[in-house]
């Protein structure tokens, strides 16, 4: 049995975000640097997606620093550990991939932890942009320009 996936596109200062939900929970945010037409098959948009869009508007208006959206993040055990730790990084702070690896109890696995970080299905809400390389900014699924914009928005200066 397949679960229907609903989508809602919302424009933000860092580009268009496409919110995905299964009707009850947020299951993904796709980052898009250019506008795209996204529909939801004529079905009503579930309240969870409307609420997620509203909370993102509040975030970009600097009225919200913590999200309260029902979510489901499907992944491996390591990914789940990494994503849970990402949610503990406060607004305006960054940590390195090495520090993230230490926090999840895998101090010698920075690369695997970085890959799990990059597979985060709900960026911004689960703030993977707050993880940076020890020698610069690191990567980001939405592109480096978007990561720099998010870090600048949260007033986190970064060199590279």
Token duo for residue 81: 């550990």
Task: Give the max Cα distance, the chain.
Answer: 48
- Assess contact for 51 and 45: CB atoms under 8 A: no
Going from the C-alpha of 18 to that of each of 7, 52, 97, 113, 130, the distances in angstroms are 6, 11, 26, 25, 20
Q: Which of the residues 56, 82, 89, 128 is marked catalytic?
A: 128
108 labelled catalytic: no
Angle, alpha carbons 82-103-110 (nearest 5°): 70
Q: Give the catalytic positions in this structure.
A: 128
């Amino acid at each position: 049995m397949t679960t229907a996936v609903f989508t809602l596109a919302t424009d933000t200062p860092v580009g268009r975000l496409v919110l995905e939900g299964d009707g009850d929970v947020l299951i993904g945010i796709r980052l898009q640097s250019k506008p795209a037409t996204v529909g939801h098959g004529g079905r009503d948009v579930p309240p969870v997606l409307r609420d997620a869009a509203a909370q993102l508007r509040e975030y970009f208006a600097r009225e919200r620093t913590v999200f309260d959206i029902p979510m489901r993040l499907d992944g491996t055990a390591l990914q789940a550990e990494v994503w849970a730790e990402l949610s503990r990084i406060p607004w305006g702070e960054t940590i390195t991939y090495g520090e993230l690896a230490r926090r999840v109890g895998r101090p010698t696995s920075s690369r695997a932890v970085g890959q799990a970080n990059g597979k985060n299905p709900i960026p911004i809400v689960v703030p993977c942009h707050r993880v940076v390389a020890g020698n610069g900014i690191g990567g980001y699924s939405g592109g480096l320009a978007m990561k720099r914009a998010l870090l600048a928005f949260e007033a986190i200066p970064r060199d590279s």
